């Protein structure tokens, strides 16, 4: 009975059965690398989904997706603006600098890991336009953010506008983009290229996938270079069909969106029970709660697992497969604290 | 009927059913990254197999395994000695320099992509020991070689001896090590650490795996650094259990060796039929045949697919699942040319 | 009359006549690179000066000195702790990441660009010891700091102690170390290796040199690697004798210390006149003054040049050659504001 | 009497007195870095010399000039074609890969270190146009070559044509370009941009300079990026006026050409005496002679110093200041062997 009580991370959840079925179904002889029939369908499938022509490449991790994109969008001698709490700054082991040949992250502040146009403009202003300081070349945001907040399309549009005005390329880390779509009800197109996003790391692994993310390029001319960088980084798998098949399975009949709705719903249930304790509103599948050490002990004693985020604060993450019963039990446990 | 006639590449073959079963079985909630129970078993399983204590990390490609190892064995300002036809030089898009921070490959000659102790020593002698020339820091060989030749343990031992004498770390690209073990009948221990190999890329993908290779470290103190480099290169998958499970499935009951024996046997059958045409002896699962353009056309017309290696030369690769009938038919077709 | 009125930067000052004489005297045929007699004398000269055996390499910029040292002290996947206002963060165009292969700077706060042991310890504590976060490997401080404060030996000793306890290498950017020595009256040995500094960028260019800085290695075993890195970075000049000769000229009869005393004295004179306006105490050759826009205009109108540091704040820098008259005139002008 | 007998390397020669005078004259307070009046004159001076608008940046070594240019002309995932004996391959410690972020050198064969259009085309043909192999992005040649041969403008024009046809940028390492101009009598314009050269490392240090080379950009839009890369590589000196002043001194009244004529003349004198022993014709200021071990000993016994190039082969290099008497004596000594 341990597994259903786990609210530690959506990374820990299993893959959706349809994803596994797709891997099994794709397990037959075909052209190696990305020359197979599944990989060949990605561009079309995502172009349909995004209502514009895109190029799509599979990779096995969000770090790879993010950093391949940033390496193409920012030169080695440039900087990427991002939030101080962004995954690329905090949890990718310096991968942006590795893929980018020594490029820099310039850190922005703001509640809930959200980036504002004002913060972008102010950061640009602080850099002297000379050769002694690293000049900004790109902006990267995360949607939903690392604190579970969802940007609306209008907000991203404003960020896109300031990015273009400042000559910055615009990258979106969409490890939990599905949750943001489910929460806002806005279209993928509005949340990305119509808001001037150039490249998107579209996350599937936290949302029912096994080990496939999609790197979506709205500036399709970047695809050739990034395909080379993917191989050079050891990310071009021999049997890439297994990655493409996973993604296609999640796209079919909107399974990706159903999964996100399920995890969002579980988070909402918990959020309602924890209303007075919420550090941020619940806009995706993550919750940050204020709790005392005693309360933490109580919850753990009841069999719930979660992340000790900071002193007096815990993080709960719900996943696509979170069972109703466990969620209800945790909601009751929180309410009873 | 197209698939069984394909002799293009062992990369194109499907994964073994037991590998798929293992992925399915491991698809349940567990700790993310490599904190799961399958990943935890790798060190022990490989230590048993190699008869010494090793550290083992999964990665998804041979390029990642090779280049993570080389980055730890050779500084950015150093050089790796390898054969001119080595996969790391020819087919990894410059990944050794990317992972290695600009390190260099110094190329050795020799028939069949085999490296000799004399070639290693001569290459070292040619480098002036000053700051103007890039100094050799490591040696990398491939077993079985890119031309399907298998080193014997004694040969590797001689290479290991010259490497140590010259202060070179020693890396083995074992994308087809299983085939070399199957051919030589020598132990993994003799073919690696007893011959002073420091790090091994142990290939499973060409031999029944789906997307998991093992990086085996005989110098166990390298594991910590390489684990960091793996994350930094975007190669630490969230649900790493699926990679570990694949490898464990192939290790169980010697499935990896059975698979290699099967592909070697298929190659031998073809080699017997093609005796007069062989560019190299058949010592693994690859064959290089001298053929005329007309003969190529004849074989293709009969439904066989393969790689046009060079003018007048084709490459045939057999895989673990190559069906007897297709192999027999190709053998007959070659004999009938 | 423009030149003597300039308080913009000590970088702009001319080289000392004895430095020029030394360049002229060394301009004769000798072995290229650093094989000449002047370069050969550096190790000995600095070992005497530091009262311990050191290795010393000339380079042409402080950026090169800093970043060659840091590249040897911190791996590509590691981080260097430094102050948010450190030159390596603010004014070296990302050179630490370039030389270091993508290494990271973790920024510390503290008044006057001074690093405290507490800030070092707290920064280390904030990093989770796992592969997802970049781990600290080195500490770099600047003495005198970018705001003209001088560390005492005891302070550096405490920083060295915490560095060693945390497993951090310790680098000192001594672009204005001479000024700190002149101010504190403490020995070079106490300010460096006795306080556990591993590598020192010893600045001469701001202090009477033309284009030679010395990289001093207290861990002498680093010299071989750094010599290779220096060549690889294009910093091994063909006629290196001209660099070594400059440094030797400044070491002779303590000219380096005389020069620093002269610029410190000029700064003190200005500081006395500006007492109520000082943002930081004057402990080297830089002053930061609170001034109104009108006052700035008044000073500029009187022919004085300086740096507009921030709104309401200007920076004055004195150089080794600052003439008494100009300094007096500026002191009077400030007092008269 | 040792110095005048030295034929080891033009790197070892002193700087021309006018260069030293220029350094002395420029040693006064001015704007730091490259904001001074001397640096400001470089673009114009070189634009006049090359009969077209160029951008010119000073650097202190040929390695820096070469590798800054190549880093701008070839992406990290690309390759530069060059001769197997090119300085960038043999004598720059891997700097092209360091500056270039892991870019690769693809080596061409050909007598006398000369590159032919056929060799360029063949090398391009050998690379499969896929993501597995590093694709060529640039061509770099050296004029005069590392074996003292001078390309004629027509030859460079053919190389430029094949480069453009293949989509390759074109870099010229002109460490001894002055000698090639002196030998061929052709114009700088014909030897460079009219032959489609994009960037030139124009050498002054082997030709009377002290520590200043010029990086000339015929594609002027590259200047901004390269200025950033120069700073980032620690090559932006604080008192850059001393570098610009050197170059201007050598440009004045064609001193650079006079110096090259002088060293070429000395080489010709030696070449006439050594006619039967020459490995290559004498087209610049380097000679490679076939000699026995006994003959080597005889020459050394007479006080001549030179480089033992290979078994049975020595290299002699003449410099701008080589005195007539020493040259005559060596010529006689060779003739008398």
If you count them, how many residues does chain D have? Answer: 337
Q: Which two tokens stand for residue A109?
A: 């502040």
Pairs of residues, one from chain A and one from chain C, whose beta carbons lie less than 8 Å apart:
50
Interface residues from chain D to B (CB-CB < 8 Å): 76-77, 79, 90-94, 97-98, 100-104, 131-134
The answer, yes or no, to whether residue C14 has pLDDT greater than 90, is: yes
The answer, yes or no, to whether residue B11 has pLDDT greater than 90, is: no
Return the pLDDT at A151.
98
Per CB-CB distance under 8 Å, the chain C contacts of B230 are 131
Return the pLDDT at D29.
86
Q: What is the pTM of this model?
A: 0.97
Question: How far is the C-alpha of B66 from the C-alpha of A30, rounded, in Å?
Answer: 25
Q: How confident is the model over A102-130, as pLDDT tens digits?
A: 999 999 999 999 999 999 999 999 999 99
How far does D335 lie from chain C, in Å, by closest CA?
A: 26
**Searching chain C, which residue's CA lies closest to the CA of residue D243?**
C211
Those chains having 3 or more beta-carbon pairs within 8 angstroms of chain B are A, C, D
Of D91, D93, D104, the CB nearest to B94: D104
The answer, yes or no, to whether residue D3 has pLDDT greater than 80, is: no
Return the pLDDT at C324.
83
Per CB-CB distance under 8 Å, the chain C contacts of A97 are 97, 102-104
Is C193 exposed, middle or buried, given 0-12, 13-18 or 19+ CB atoms closer than 10 A? buried
Per CB-CB distance under 8 Å, the chain A contacts of B63 are 231, 234, 236
If you count them, how many residues does chain B have? Answer: 337
Return the pLDDT at C5.
78
Q: Are C175 and C286 in contact (CB under 8 A)?
A: no
**Searching chain A, which residue's CA lies closest to the CA of residue B16?**
A27
Q: Give the mean model confidence (pLDDT) for residues B109-115.
A: 97
Residue C190 pLDDT class (50, 70, 90 cuts): very high
Q: Are A31 and B12 in contact (CB under 8 A)?
A: yes
Q: How confident is the model over A12-49, as pLDDT tens digits?
A: 899 999 999 999 999 998 899 999 999 999 999 999 99
Return the pLDDT at A2.
44
Mark yes or no for CB contact C91/A134 under 8 Å.
Answer: no
How far does D233 lie from chain A, in Å, by closest CA?
A: 10
Q: How confident is the model over C121-177, as pLDDT tens digits?
A: 999 999 999 999 999 999 999 999 999 999 999 999 999 999 999 999 999 999 999
Question: How far is the C-alpha of C308 from the C-alpha of C303, rounded, in Å?
Answer: 15
Which is nearest to C231 in space by CA: D217, D7, D91, D277? D91
Q: Strand pairing partners for A138?
A: A80, A169
Of A131, A228, A231, the CB nearest to D227: A131
CB C118: neighbour CB atoms within 10 A? 12
> What does residue A307 show for φ and ψ, rounded to 5 degrees?
-100, 130
ipTM of the complex: 0.97
Name which of D82, D102, D132, D134 to mutate to probe chain B: the one with the most chain B Cβ atoms within 10 A of its Cβ: D102
The answer, yes or no, to whether residue A3 has pLDDT greater than 90, is: no
Per CB-CB distance under 8 Å, the chain D contacts of A73 are none
Question: How far is the C-alpha of A97 from the C-alpha of B160, rounded, in Å?
Answer: 35
Residue C1 pLDDT class (50, 70, 90 cuts): very low
Mark yes or no for CB contact C92/A131 under 8 Å.
Answer: no
Return the pLDDT at A9.
87
Per CB-CB distance under 8 Å, the chain D contacts of C208 are none
Q: How confident is the model over D93-123, as pLDDT tens digits?
A: 999 999 999 999 999 999 999 999 999 999 9
CB C186: neighbour CB atoms within 10 A? 18
Mark yes or no for CB contact B77/D100 under 8 Å.
Answer: no
Of A79, A90, A94, the CB nearest to C102: A94
Q: C39 vs C18, C32, C188, C234, C239, CA distance in Å? A: 17, 10, 21, 17, 10
Least-confidence region, from A214-223, C23-32, C79-88: C23-32
Strands of B135-142's sheet in order across: B55-59, B213-217, B199-202, B169-174, B135-142, B78-83, B104-108
Mark yes or no for CB contact D227/A135 under 8 Å.
Answer: no
Mark yes or no for CB contact A11/B205 under 8 Å.
Answer: no
Q: Omega into A144 within 30° of 0, i.e. cis?
A: yes
Of B24, B31, B236, the CB nearest to A61: B236
Distant-in-sequence, close-in-space partners of D101: CB < 8 Å, separation ≥ 6: A76, A101, A102, B102, D71, D75, D76
Pairs of residues, one from chain B and one from chain C, whose beta carbons lie less than 8 Å apart:
31
The answer, yes or no, to whether residue B2 has pLDDT greater than 60, is: no
Per CB-CB distance under 8 Å, the chain B contacts of A92 are 231-232, 234
DSSP C131: T
Helix axes B324-335 and B293-301, enclosed angle (nearest 10): 140
Q: How confident is the model over C263-285, as pLDDT tens digits?
A: 999 999 999 999 899 999 999 99
Residue percentage of chain D with pLDDT more than 70: 99
The answer, yes or no, to whether residue A254 has pLDDT greater than 60, is: yes
Q: Strand pairing partners for B313?
A: B290, B310
Mark yes or no for CB contact A27/B11 under 8 Å.
Answer: no
Q: What average pLDDT does the structure give for chain D?
A: 96
Question: How far is the C-alpha of C73 from the C-alpha of B28, rounded, in Å?
Answer: 43
Q: How confident is the model over B235-267, as pLDDT tens digits?
A: 999 999 999 999 999 999 999 999 999 999 999
Strands in chain A per DSSP E: 55-59, 78-83, 104-108, 135-142, 169-174, 199-202, 213-217, 286-290, 307-310, 313-317
The answer, yes or no, to whether residue B42 has pLDDT greater than 60, is: yes
Name which of C67, C94, C126 to mutate to probe chain A: the one with the most chain A Cβ atoms within 10 A of its Cβ: C94
Return the pLDDT at B3.
45
Pairs of residues, one from chain B and one from chain D, whose beta carbons lie less than 8 Å apart:
50
Mark yes or no for CB contact D76/B90 under 8 Å.
Answer: no
Query: What DSSP element (H or E) covers B215?
Result: strand B213-217
Q: What average pLDDT does the structure give for chain C?
A: 96
Could you report how far apart the first and last alpha carbons of chain D are, in Å? 22
Question: How far is the C-alpha of D148 from the C-alpha of D91, rounded, in Å?
Answer: 16
Of C91, C103, C131, the CB nearest to A132: C91
Pairing of strands B213-217, B199-202: antiparallel
> What does residue A31 show for φ and ψ, rounded to 5 degrees?
-65, 145
Q: What angle do CA B182, B183, B184 make, to 5 degrees?
A: 100
Return the pLDDT at D323.
77
Of A131, A228, A229, the CB nearest to D236: A131
If you count them, how many residues does chain A have? Answer: 337
Q: Are D135 and D79 in contact (CB under 8 A)?
A: yes
DSSP B83: E
Per CB-CB distance under 8 Å, the chain B contacts of D97 are 97, 102-104
Mark yes or no for CB contact A77/C100 under 8 Å.
Answer: no
Q: Give the mean model confidence (pLDDT) for residues C203-213.
A: 97
**Searching chain A, which residue's CA lies closest to the CA of residue C105?**
A104
Radius of gyration of chain A (CA): 20
Mark yes or no for CB contact D228/A77 under 8 Å.
Answer: yes
Q: How confident is the model over A193-215, as pLDDT tens digits?
A: 999 999 999 999 999 999 999 99
> What does residue A196 show for φ and ψ, rounded to 5 degrees?
75, 25
Q: Give the mean model confidence (pLDDT) for residues B192-205.
A: 98
> What does residue B311 show for φ and ψ, rounded to 5 degrees?
-55, 125
CB C47: neighbour CB atoms within 10 A? 16
Of D13, D20, D67, the CB nearest to C234: D67
Can you give chain D as a three-state secondary structure string? CCHHHECCCHHHCCCCHHHHHHHHHCCCCCCCECCCHHHHHHHHHHHHHHCCCCEEEEECCHHHHHHHHHHHHCCCCEEEEEECCCHHHHCCCCHHHHHHCCCEEEEECCHHHCCCHHHHHHHHHHCCCCCCCCEEEEEEEECCCCCCCCCCHHHHHHHHHHHHHCCCEEEEEECCHHHHHHHHCCCHHHHCHHHCCCEEEECCHHHCCCCCEEEEECCHHHHHHHHHHHHHCCCCCCECHHHHHHHHHHHHHHHHHHHHHHHHHHHHHHHHHCHHHECCCCCCCEEEEECCHHHHHHHHHCCCECEEEECCEEEEECCCCCCHHHHHHHHHHHHCC
Question: How far is the C-alpha of C301 from the C-alpha of C309, rounded, in Å?
Answer: 18
Q: How confident is the model over B68-100, as pLDDT tens digits?
A: 999 999 999 999 999 999 999 999 999 999 999
Mark yes or no for CB contact D231/C12 under 8 Å.
Answer: no
Q: What is the full DSSP assignment across A57-106?
A: EEES-HHHHHHHHHHHHS-TTEEEEEETT-HHHHSSTTHHHHHHTS-EEE
**Searching chain A, which residue's CA lies closest to the CA of residue C129?**
A93
Return the pLDDT at C4.
44
Residue percentage of chain D with pLDDT more than 90: 94
Of C76, C131, C236, the CB nearest to B101: C76
Of C77, C102, C229, the CB nearest to B77: C229
């Amino acid at each position: 009975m341990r597994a259903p009580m786990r609210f530690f991370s959506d990374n820990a959840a299993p893959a959706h059965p349809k994803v596994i079925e797709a891997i099994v179904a794709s397990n037959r002889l075909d052209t190696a690398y990305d020359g197979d029939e599944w990989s060949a369908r990605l561009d079309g499938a995502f172009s349909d989904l995004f209502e514009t022509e895109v190029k799509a490449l599979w990779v096995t991790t969000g770090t790879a997706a993010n950093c391949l994109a940033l390496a193409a969008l920012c030169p080695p001698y440039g900087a990427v603006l991002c939030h101080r709490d962004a995954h690329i700054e905090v949890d990718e082991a310096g991968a942006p600098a590795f893929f980018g040949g020594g490029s820099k992250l310039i850190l922005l502040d703001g509640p809930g890991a959200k980036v504002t146009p004002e913060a972008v403009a102010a950061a640009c202003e602080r850099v002297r336009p000379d050769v002694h300081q690293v000049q900004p070349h790109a902006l990267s945001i995360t949607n939903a953010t690392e604190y579970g907040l969802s940007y609306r399309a209008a907000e991203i549009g404003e960020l896109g506008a300031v990015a273009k005005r400042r000559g910055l390329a615009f990258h979106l880390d969409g490890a939990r983009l599905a949750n943001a779509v489910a929460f806002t009800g806005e279209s993928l197109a509005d949340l990305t290229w119509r808001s001037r996003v150039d490249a998107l790391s579209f996350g599937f692994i936290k949302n029912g996938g096994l080990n496939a993310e999609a790197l979506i390029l709205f500036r399709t001319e970047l695809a050739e270079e990034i395909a080379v960088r993917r191989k050079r980084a050891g990310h071009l798998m021999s049997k890439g069909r297994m990655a493409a098949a996973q993604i296609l399975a999640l796209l079919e009949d909107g399974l990706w969106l159903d999964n996100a709705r399920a995890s969002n719903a579980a988070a909402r249930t918990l959020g309602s029970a924890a209303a007075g304790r919420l550090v941020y509103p619940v806009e995706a599948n993550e919750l940050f709660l204020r709790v005392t050490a005693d309360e933490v002990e109580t919850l753990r004693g009841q069999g719930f697992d979660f992340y000790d985020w900071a002193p007096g604060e815990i993080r709960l993450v719900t996943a696509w497969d979170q069972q109703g019963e466990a969620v209800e039990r945790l909601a009751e446990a929180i309410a009873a604290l």
